[in-house]
A and B are shown apart, each in its own frame.
Chain A
Amino acid sequence: MLHEQILHRCFRCGYCKMPSNYTDLNCPPYLAFRFETYSPGGRMWLLKAWLEGKIQPGRRFAEIMFSCTACGNCTEHCPFPDFKNLLLEAFTAGREAFLDGGTAPAGVKDYLTRMQLHGNPYGLPAKKRADWAAGSDTESYSGQEYLFFAGDAGSYDTRGQEMARSAAGLLAKAGISFGVLKMGENSDGNDVRASGETALFEELAGKNTELFNRNNVKKIITLSPHSLNTFKKDYPGLGGNYQVFHYTQVLALNMGRLKFKENQEPVLVTCHDSCYLGRHNRDYFSPRMILSTVPGIKIAEMDRNRQNSLCCGGGGGNLYTDILPSGEESPARHRIREAKKTGAKIIAVSCPLCAIMLEDAVKSEGVADILRVMEISEIINDRLV
């Protein structure tokens, strides 16, 4: 197994379970399950025990491995330099070994099968990928400055499609030159890679790269921070070299082009940092920069914000595999309870997966009448002239 030489180095000190201000637990599977086994240290020690033949892979072990959302809290807070940077890679390698051995939860197998057969986690036809743009003024990509990439949730999930239309619409209002590829795109593969299915990831990435290169794409705006992450970090190694931006990063620099209604009713907004825009790509600034320029909006931070943000629980394929429980201990429900404590009326998100997870949690918590999940561009669109 790749990185097996580092497994014994984990001391299980537990810094990885918490944010840097120690306000609460911050590792999604550990928060949800609470057994030490579901903590990053537990995972490291179990993998080592497995390689030494002390424990056999089984249903529980697979659940422990695949419940990791790859949120990066462990990488952020582990006190050991260098070693910490390999934590997620080691877990990915562990999952890859489990997949190779045929020991993966049924939900993961189904998810990966849908990805393989359809190029998306919903099992829907590829030709429907650009349906989100139907009826809008969004242009087909034909050499504009940017390609707008809606990603899986933005293309197929009803809520994600609303976000894609909203973000694309706002980019157009800001005068950004972009188009969308109406045929041929596949999943960005970010979460497939995190789940350890490297070959499938390379296949998906290869198809996208070939498509982008054929269309002479140079710059990409992504709706999902997951797409941003893999386009920036993984695609260059596979022949896909692009300038990649999350839509909030482009908007943050073009807010001056938007005209807001006057005398807006003041509203308190709390900002939920997406793991792949935040911890993985170090941008905590763009969403806040955008919100701070909108008249009437005041930001109330949650205890766990920026590098301490609590993951919604949807990463690493968990949105589609449902390994993390959806009950009271689910990370998304913890997050909503935390957001509610700020007194905010809106929880601002910049990732379709976060929006889907948190909206479900708002309903489960019974707070839909006082707290609304809104994607950043939706908040802005509501307040434009």
Chain B
Amino acid sequence: MKDFIRQLAGITGQEFVSAEPEERYIYSMDQGTMPPALPDAVVMPGSTQEVQQIMRLANRHKVPVVPMGGGLVLSGLTRALNGGIILDMKRMNRIIKVNPVSRHAVVEGGASEGMLQAYLKKHHPELKHSMPDAPPIATLAGNICIHGSGHLSVPGGFHSDMLTGMEVVLPTGDIVRTGSCSVSQDWFARAPLPDLSGLFLGWSGTTGIITKLGIKLFPSYAHNDLLVFVCEDADLMPDVISRLTGTQVAEDMTPWMTPKPEWARGFLHINISYGAHTKKELTFKRNLLQASVKKYSDRKIAGFLPMPPPQKSRFLKVPSADLVTFADIRKGGGFEYVGAIMSIEHFAEAYRAGLNIAKTHNVSYSMGARIIGAGHAMMFFYAYAFNRADQEDVKRAQHALEATNTAALEIGGIPWKAELPAQKQIIDKMDPGTFNLMNRIRSLMDPNHIMNPGNWEK
């Protein structure tokens, strides 16, 4: 391993390789409940060519490679389960180009959500991209890889749906391009070619290293507003969501249910953000949204919550620091959540399961969802904060997470960015032919099985 690390230093420079105990310790875990797994070294490449050389070297020596973006996945996907190296991509954080006319950007594999947001605000204020609720240091590549979602997921779908193409270094060191950039100088779409991007989406870093990616951009409106719909009956939620998304005017729809603050306990809220180029257009959109659920507000069984401007501004802030604030509820620096992707008609079941699990396991919870597309799916999340210094509390959260994964699968959902035990639960439920194909693809792309081994395995 010493010789291997020396050769790594020859690629990136000594300053960007470390096999010191400090880096090995910090990179052995994330903020979630998964136990640590020590890497042998951490390396930070500065270019696609360096990534290529690293992968060739690792492949030759059969050393495991775990790609890492912001390191904020929470479910332990960037742990070196079989040792090897962590490939921290954050040095490759350049915004390469923005096409303001056909609305897409090309960025490096370690570019952060926050930096793209800042770049667009400064250079293209008429444009924005879909920000997740993750802290702004999270990387675009990491979030897209895990099928993340964000503040434009109603019009744009999952963040992986907003991907227009990629440059990827394969485990063997080959550099490939997917989408239009494999044929044209423009990164406009994945169509009309065979969609090879899917080989790298949702695979938890087991198939390649993304070094560049294209991402769709959307109009940034001059006028923005928020409606908060509230009801007490979870069974109404699928129809309400379906009606609201049917208007096709919302940018983001996020139901939320939390026992704190006290005034929110027992109610189901839906934050609906929307924007417009003019005030007249904004009013028109607001009217459409309100009219879509008039059936319920007329019966006084649900309605829109009056929202003071400061609170509205807080809700409209992107990214919102509210999730991070919730993470601190136990004053313990620990936070993890199960985000289960499922159909919206399972909303009530998912909600009741969450309440039941929180009560059974005596954990602090927050539940919510993000609506994807025109009600095509939702990411229903169960968030648990825990005290990292209290091992009993960590265990409680861990058990609650396991129970939540099980419940999500029973309902018909699929745990998102699943941690190792949840991956195994998914595999158990998966069509055997699908899992067999996954394995055949992996063997073909990664003959020495060096990419994030341990993940998506029985």
Interface residues, chain A, with chain B CB atoms under 8 Å away: 8-15, 17-18, 21-24, 33-37, 42, 45-46, 49, 54-56, 58, 60-61, 64, 79-80, 83, 303, 325
The 8 Å CB contact of B114, one of A18, A35, A58, is A18
Q: Would you call B331 an interface residue if the criterion is a C-beta within 8 Å of the partner chain's C-beta atoms?
A: yes
Are A42 and B321 in touch, CB under 8 angstroms? Answer: no
Q: Which residue of A lies closest to B328 (CB)?
A: A80
CA distance A355 to B136 in the complex (A): 31
Measured between C-beta atoms, what is the minimum distance from A98 to chain B in Å?
13
Are A22 and B388 in touch, CB under 8 angstroms? Answer: no
Q: List 24 A-B contacts (CB under 8 A).
A: A8-B387, A11-B31, A11-B324, A13-B135, A14-B137, A15-B135, A18-B136, A21-B121, A22-B136, A23-B115, A24-B115, A35-B18, A36-B88, A37-B22, A42-B26, A46-B26, A54-B25, A55-B25, A56-B21, A58-B22, A79-B324, A79-B325, A79-B328, A83-B331
Are B135 and A34 in touch, CB under 8 angstroms? Answer: no
Ranked 3 nearest A-B pairs via Cβ:
A22-B114, A14-B137, A8-B389
Q: Would you call B117 an interface residue if the criterion is a C-beta within 8 Å of the partner chain's C-beta atoms?
A: yes
CA distance A326 to B42 in the complex (A): 22
The 8 Å CB contact of A79, one of B26, B71, B321, B332, is B321
Given contacts A15-B136, A22-B112, 18 further A-B contacts (CB under 8 A): A11-B333, A13-B31, A15-B135, A17-B137, A18-B112, A18-B114, A21-B118, A23-B122, A34-B16, A35-B26, A36-B26, A36-B71, A37-B26, A49-B25, A55-B22, A60-B18, A64-B22, A79-B325
CA distance A244 to B149 in the complex (A): 51
Q: Would you call B72 an interface residue if the criterion is a C-beta within 8 Å of the partner chain's C-beta atoms?
A: yes
Chain A residues contacting B331 (CB-CB under 8 Å) are 9, 83
Are B44 and A37 in touch, CB under 8 angstroms? Answer: no
CA distance A49 to B24 in the complex (A): 12
Chain B residues contacting A56 (CB-CB under 8 Å) are 21
Are A23 and B321 in touch, CB under 8 angstroms? Answer: no
With A8-B388, A36-B88 already in contact, the answer to whether A46 and B136 are too (CB < 8 A) is no
Are B27 and A36 in touch, CB under 8 angstroms? Answer: yes
Are B137 and A18 in touch, CB under 8 angstroms? Answer: yes
The 8 Å CB contact of B115, one of A8, A22, A34, A45, is A22
Are B15 and A14 in touch, CB under 8 angstroms? Answer: no
CA distance A46 to B135 in the complex (A): 21
CA distance A9 to B112 in the complex (A): 24
CA distance A372 to B325 in the complex (A): 43
Chain A residues contacting B136 (CB-CB under 8 Å) are 14-15, 18, 22
CA distance A33 to B22 in the complex (A): 13
The 8 Å CB contact of A22, one of B18, B44, B118, is B118
Q: Would you call B11 an interface residue if the criterion is a C-beta within 8 Å of the partner chain's C-beta atoms?
A: no
Are B44 and A35 in touch, CB under 8 angstroms? Answer: yes
CA distance A46 to B115 in the complex (A): 27
Chain B residues contacting A22 (CB-CB under 8 Å) are 112, 114-115, 117-118, 136
CA distance A154 to B367 in the complex (A): 57
Chain B residues contacting A64 (CB-CB under 8 Å) are 22
Are B328 and A83 in touch, CB under 8 angstroms? Answer: yes
The 8 Å CB contact of B42, one of A35, A55, A58, is A35
**Residue of A13, A15, A55 with most chain B CB atoms under a 10 A cut-off:** A13
With A11-B324, A36-B27 already in contact, the answer to whether A61 and B22 are too (CB < 8 A) is yes
CA distance A332 to B23 in the complex (A): 25
CA distance A12 to B334 in the complex (A): 9
Interface residues, chain B, with chain A CB atoms under 8 Å away: 15-16, 18, 20-23, 25-27, 31, 42, 44, 70-72, 88, 90-91, 112, 114-115, 117-119, 121-122, 135-138, 321, 324-325, 327-328, 331-335, 387-389
Are B135 and A8 in touch, CB under 8 angstroms? Answer: no
Chain A residues contacting B327 (CB-CB under 8 Å) are 11, 13
Measured between C-beta atoms, what is the minimum distance from B80 to chain A in Å?
14
CA distance A17 to B72 in the complex (A): 14
Measured between C-beta atoms, what is the minimum distance from B155 to chain A in Å?
23
Q: Which residue of B lies closest to A46 (CB)?
A: B22
With A9-B333, A17-B137, A18-B136 already in contact, the answer to whether A34 and B88 are too (CB < 8 A) is yes
With A34-B88, A34-B91, A36-B71 already in contact, the answer to whether A60 and B20 are too (CB < 8 A) is yes
Chain A residues contacting B90 (CB-CB under 8 Å) are 34
Are A8 and B72 in touch, CB under 8 angstroms? Answer: no
Are A14 and B72 in touch, CB under 8 angstroms? Answer: yes
CA distance A8 to B333 in the complex (A): 6
Are A11 and B328 in touch, CB under 8 angstroms? Answer: yes
Chain B residues contacting A33 (CB-CB under 8 Å) are 15
Chain A residues contacting B26 (CB-CB under 8 Å) are 35-37, 42, 45-46
Are B22 and A303 in touch, CB under 8 angstroms? Answer: no
Q: Which residue of A lies closest to B90 (CB)?
A: A34
Chain B residues contacting A61 (CB-CB under 8 Å) are 22
With A13-B72, A36-B27 already in contact, the answer to whether A8 and B16 are too (CB < 8 A) is no
CA distance A11 to B332 in the complex (A): 8
Are B118 and A13 in touch, CB under 8 angstroms? Answer: no
Q: Which residue of A lies closest to B319 (CB)?
A: A22
Q: Which residue of B lies closest to A59 (CB)?
A: B20
CA distance A325 to B135 in the complex (A): 28
Are A325 and B21 in touch, CB under 8 angstroms? Answer: no
CA distance A56 to B22 in the complex (A): 9
CA distance A8 to B331 in the complex (A): 9
Q: Which residue of A lies closest to B36 (CB)?
A: A54
Are B321 and A34 in touch, CB under 8 angstroms? Answer: no
CA distance A45 to B72 in the complex (A): 15
Chain A residues contacting B18 (CB-CB under 8 Å) are 35, 60
CA distance A9 to B335 in the complex (A): 11
Chain A residues contacting B27 (CB-CB under 8 Å) are 36
CA distance A257 to B389 in the complex (A): 59
Measured between C-beta atoms, what is the minimum distance from A5 to chain B in Å?
9
With A22-B118, A23-B115, A35-B18 already in contact, the answer to whether A9 and B332 are too (CB < 8 A) is yes
CA distance A209 to B335 in the complex (A): 47
**Residue of A34, A49, A325 with most chain B CB atoms under a 10 A cut-off:** A34
Chain A residues contacting B118 (CB-CB under 8 Å) are 21-24, 303
Are A10 and B71 in touch, CB under 8 angstroms? Answer: no
CA distance A325 to B388 in the complex (A): 34
Chain A residues contacting B72 (CB-CB under 8 Å) are 13-14
CA distance A24 to B333 in the complex (A): 25
Are A12 and B115 in touch, CB under 8 angstroms? Answer: no
Q: Which residue of A lies closest to B18 (CB)?
A: A35
Chain B residues contacting A34 (CB-CB under 8 Å) are 16, 44, 88, 90-91
Measured between C-beta atoms, what is the minimum distance from A304 to chain B in Å?
10
Chain B residues contacting A60 (CB-CB under 8 Å) are 18, 20-23
